[in-house]
Structure 1
Amino acid sequence: MTHSALLAAPEDYSLLTDLYQLTMASCYLGEGIGDRRASFELFTRRLPQGYGYLVSMGLAQAIDYLTNLRFSDRHVEALRQTGLFDRAPDSFWQRLRSAGFSGDVWAVPEGTVVFANEPLLRVEAPLWQAQLAETYLLNALNYQTLIATRAARVRDVAGPAATLLEFGTRRAFSPQAALWAARAALAAGLDETSNVLAAVQLGRRPAGTMAHALVMAFTALEGSEDQAFEAFQRYFPGAALLIDTYDTVAAADRLAARVAQGHPPVTAVRLDSGDLVALSQAVRSRLPQATIFASGDLDEFEIARLQQAGAAIDGYGLGTKLVTGAPVNGVYKLVDLDGCAVMKESVQKATLPGRKQIFRRYQQGVAVGDRLGLTTEPAAPDECALLTQVMHQGELTQPLDTLETIRDRATTAVASLPTAVRQITHPADYPVDLSGALVELAAQTRQRPVPQR
């Protein structure tokens, strides 16, 4: 089982989990309750600080995980060799060998806007299976939801005309995270990614510019910055030239002079440092036909500042601050077992019981409020139910959405929110009410005596 590269392949998904998921599954099965029907919901108790909403993302990877959840003989032997499961019941090993996810999954479609306490996803399956899924599902949805939300905020601030490029691969938390970040960013509003593997796998064309190293390499070999530009244009005539290695304005002057002399036009340039407002304005005056890109630790706040200051920038490359930041702290909690609603009552970590549905109300295309209720409740005439069934008995019930469909949904969903909720500073709270039936169920569950031995 030793793999020095520590790469996660689909055939190994079953072991890509926290130990306690397996120890609890063993305990459930040993005590004869492992096959009880359980419902777990994945949600966040609160939004990250300064966020007015989240854009749900990662469902496709959750489905991929559940579809490939199998324990091979190699996996079973590896668990035995740990010595941790010496007292595990025979039923544990039997279930692992015959395992395959056999449950149902309900989820909001990717690109849907959600708020605190609203389930992004619900797993309904035998208790031991639903428990095993927790770690991977949280990893997939928490990270991609963070990236999608940041991408949506950037798009909202930059506006529909700006070109937004995902440059985060070198700053993402792992190579796998880089692929997920690229997907989530594109699905939530960015135009292209520089990650070649992500672009190819998603059926897109990768996009990028050039690095300072190319200019420095030419100048080190007794060449010049201009020779670097000429060489790059020779092979990639439409690509952006990075013009801030030495003197941005001087480089723009020389490029403008070359264009005036009949040399190929400069299609685009990128600025990666310095006073982006002043430099972009200077470059615009010298190269009025060139598209000007900016990069360098940009986020929605810096883009808003640049726009307000009158920067002449047409597009932005988003890297570090897009793919990192305060996490989406989603949790995965048991809400129902064999039709018996359950809830956690810990201080500041209480949960709501029962299998839930999100009902959203619109007025003239604007989302005006949500009602968090039970799945047994009907939607009111002016409400839309957001969670839909995506898996039944381990099988997909509908095709997965394309990236274009998800992007359109995310764009529409964010645009439907009140302006005050979309603000990147001090956003207003979006109203989410609990239904009377849910409030009553919570009260009944809370009053239910806890058996004591």
Structure 2
Amino acid sequence: MTTAKETDRLRENRELSPTPADESLLTDLYQLTMAACYVGEGVDRKPACFELFARKLPGNFGYAIAMGLTQALEYLENLRFDPSQIEALKNLGIFKQAPERFWSVLAEARFEGDVWAVPEGTAVFPNEPLLRVEAPLWQAQIVETYLLNTINYQTLIATRAARMRDMAGPEVKLLEFGTRRAFSPQAALWAARAALAAGFDATSNVLGALKLGREPSGTMAHALIMAIAAIDEDEDAAFEAFGRYFPGAPLLIDTYDTVAAAKRLAEKVKAGQMEIKGVRLDSGDLAELSKQVRSLLPPQVAILASGDIDEAEIARLKAANAPIDGYGVGTKLVSGTPFNGVYKLVEIDGIPVMKKSSSKLTYPGRKQVYRILEDGKMKCDRLQLMDEGDKNGGESVSLLQLVMKSGRRVKDPETLAEIADRTAASVASLPPHSRRPEDPELPGFETSEALETLRKQVSQRY
């Protein structure tokens, strides 16, 4: 006889790495319970419009870089519920009173909606939609969690990467080293993609690099130095051993005495005993150490720095004239204050709606964002209703573009290089005060008269 404990163990699936087929259930429970309620009330097919935006940016961000759209569209195109998933939901007591038609709705599920979005690599600001979903109510509702997950995280990483690239300049090498610090294996892959798309040169994540058509890049850990040095009683033996198998790979020289290691390596290079293309510094006063190492090693030997690097540290090292040719960035890139994007209903069955909660007011109706430029530089952004059209004149660009029609993408995904070029151009167009690594200021933001009038009308309705 099977005990209750054994039954629970049989039900428990310890494999927590999701496959693409799992993604329909990779959601919050309330998305499914709301969808069931919509079906029961007969409103599940009502046309709905949701917009994804951030009310504010993380501290010290003067802009954000939109990212994650590619994965969001892949998810929408592949949204399905297979029989085993539906059966698993039926077996939950939560759904025992759900309408019977809910199960057939799930069984036949295909995303049928239109999606408007800001292209990846575009600078965005608070209260501006990054993405708009127009679809039958239950479909537009159920995709909220996954869309927020991929867009919020990748936008955070892309923003930090763009700020680091902006501070470092175009010639300095930037390497993404954050896999061990990312919030999950999936997040590590998304972080690698977002960093590359925002201007980084390479990632140490092997799977991420291969999936993204790039070559992974890395150096070595202190463990190799300590292991071989302990056995041979000679740190240089570790350098020589690694160089035999991976010629040209940067050598990590701060395990014991950074300057002493640099002096010995310089002597070996001068004597023709070793060829060194780069060294990495991972601790200590990076500005002072890099200057000492630079004075010892030939000029063609690149100096790479790592160890809690962020945009402010890069700016500090540049101000100190540290001769650093590249940075390996991990923790400060893949973690930090989240980009807190939200996904809110703005129209249902043609009726504009808004949220009136204290400090969480939203703008009703379908909207477009126009970027007003002056001599190619950003002057301000203007938020207005979608049907107003471009009344801004001069240099203005509409940011939200149609990217999916009736559940199918309208064009092929962009390459990482194309997105990185857009990121660089978008950041370069921003006012200097928005690009500061410390105490940045947001650029100008306006709303149209028609949008403000609608907001007052909808607010009075409630």
TM-score range, shorter chain: over 0.9
SS of structure 1 residue aligned to 2:132: strand
- Residue 6 of structure 2 aligns with which residue? none
- Residue 49 of structure 2 aligns with which residue? 39
After superposition, give the CA deviation of every residue in 1:415-434 in whole Å (9 maximum; x if it has no partner): 00011111111112211100
Q: Is 2:376 the partner of 1:365?
A: yes
- Residue 433 of structure 2 aligns with which residue? 420
In the alignment, the residues of structure 1 paired with residue 272 and residue 22 of structure 2 have an alpha-carbon distance, to the nearest angstrom, of: 59
- Residue 434 of structure 1 aligns with which residue? 447
Q: CA deviation at 1:444?
A: 1.1
After superposition, give the CA deviation of every residue in 1:48-83 in whole Å (9 maximum; x if it has no partner): 121110000000110111111101100100001111
Q: Is 2:425 the partner of 1:394?
A: no
Structure 2 letter corresponding to 1:393:
S
SS of structure 1 residue aligned to 2:371: strand
1:215–1:224 CA contact under 8 A, matched in 2: no
Q: CA deviation at 1:2?
A: 4.7
In the alignment, the residues of structure 1 paired with residue 398 and residue 285 of structure 2 have an alpha-carbon distance, to the nearest angstrom, of: 48
Show the 5 A alignment for 1:178-197.
178-197=188-207
Q: CA deviation at 1:264?
A: 2.9
SS of structure 2 residue aligned to 1:62: helix
Q: Which contiguous aligned blocks of 4+ residues in structure 1 show a shift greater than 3 angstroms?
A: none
- Residue 16 of structure 1 aligns with which residue? 26
1:234 to 235, 238, 244: 244
SS of structure 2 residue aligned to 1:345: coil
- Residue 352 of structure 1 aligns with which residue? 363
SS of structure 1 residue aligned to 2:328: strand
- Residue 145 of structure 2 aligns with which residue? 135
Q: Is 2:177 the partner of 1:167?
A: yes
2:229–2:236 CA contact under 8 A, matched in 1: no
In the alignment, the residues of structure 2 paired with residue 196 and residue 8 of structure 1 have an alpha-carbon distance, to the nearest angstrom, of: 19
In the alignment, the residues of structure 2 paired with residue 367 and residue 401 of structure 1 have an alpha-carbon distance, to the nearest angstrom, of: 24
2:259–2:292 CA contact under 8 A, matched in 1: yes
- Residue 5 of structure 2 aligns with which residue? none
1:201 to 190, 207, 211: 211
2:304–2:328 CA contact under 8 A, matched in 1: yes
- Residue 343 of structure 1 aligns with which residue? 354
In the alignment, the residues of structure 2 paired with residue 151 and residue 3 of structure 1 have an alpha-carbon distance, to the nearest angstrom, of: 36
- Residue 295 of structure 1 aligns with which residue? 306
In the alignment, the residues of structure 1 paired with residue 208 and residue 144 of structure 2 have an alpha-carbon distance, to the nearest angstrom, of: 25
Q: Is 2:10 the partner of 1:4?
A: no
In the alignment, the residues of structure 2 paired with residue 119 and residue 222 of structure 1 have an alpha-carbon distance, to the nearest angstrom, of: 60
- Residue 40 of structure 2 aligns with which residue? 30
- Residue 260 of structure 1 aligns with which residue? 270
Q: Is 2:260 the partner of 1:250?
A: yes
SS of structure 2 residue aligned to 1:417: coil
1:252–1:286 CA contact under 8 A, matched in 2: yes
Structure 1 letter corresponding to 2:393:
P
Q: Is 2:119 the partner of 1:109?
A: yes
In the alignment, the residues of structure 1 paired with residue 65 and residue 303 of structure 2 have an alpha-carbon distance, to the nearest angstrom, of: 29
- Residue 148 of structure 1 aligns with which residue? 158
Q: CA deviation at 1:381?
A: 2.9
2:342 to 314, 331, 340: 331
Structure 2 letter corresponding to 1:197:
L
- Residue 217 of structure 1 aligns with which residue? 227
In the alignment, the residues of structure 2 paired with residue 184 and residue 128 of structure 1 have an alpha-carbon distance, to the nearest angstrom, of: 30
SS of structure 2 residue aligned to 1:141: helix
2:393 to 356, 378, 381: 381
In the alignment, the residues of structure 1 paired with residue 382 and residue 270 of structure 2 have an alpha-carbon distance, to the nearest angstrom, of: 63
In the alignment, the residues of structure 2 paired with residue 2 and residue 37 of structure 1 have an alpha-carbon distance, to the nearest angstrom, of: 38
SS of structure 2 residue aligned to 1:84: helix
Identity %: 61
SS of structure 1 residue aligned to 2:387: coil
In the alignment, the residues of structure 2 paired with residue 73 and residue 92 of structure 1 have an alpha-carbon distance, to the nearest angstrom, of: 13
1:55–1:148 CA contact under 8 A, matched in 2: yes
Q: Which runs of 5 or more residues in structure 1 are unaligned? A: none
In the alignment, the residues of structure 1 paired with residue 355 and residue 452 of structure 2 have an alpha-carbon distance, to the nearest angstrom, of: 15
Structure 2 letter corresponding to 1:94:
S
Show the 5 A alignment for 1:265-284.
265-284=275-294
1:249–1:279 CA contact under 8 A, matched in 2: yes
Q: Which runs of 5 or more residues in structure 2 are unaligned? A: 1-10
In the alignment, the residues of structure 2 paired with residue 274 and residue 51 of structure 1 have an alpha-carbon distance, to the nearest angstrom, of: 27
- Residue 133 of structure 2 aligns with which residue? 123
SS of structure 2 residue aligned to 1:376: helix
Q: CA deviation at 1:257?
A: 0.7
Q: Is 2:325 the partner of 1:310?
A: no
SS of structure 2 residue aligned to 1:362: strand
In the alignment, the residues of structure 2 paired with residue 318 and residue 2 of structure 1 have an alpha-carbon distance, to the nearest angstrom, of: 38
SS of structure 2 residue aligned to 1:205: coil
TM-score (norm 2): 0.96
- Residue 76 of structure 2 aligns with which residue? 66
In the alignment, the residues of structure 1 paired with residue 208 and residue 215 of structure 2 have an alpha-carbon distance, to the nearest angstrom, of: 9
| Backbone CA RMSD of aligned residues | 1.0
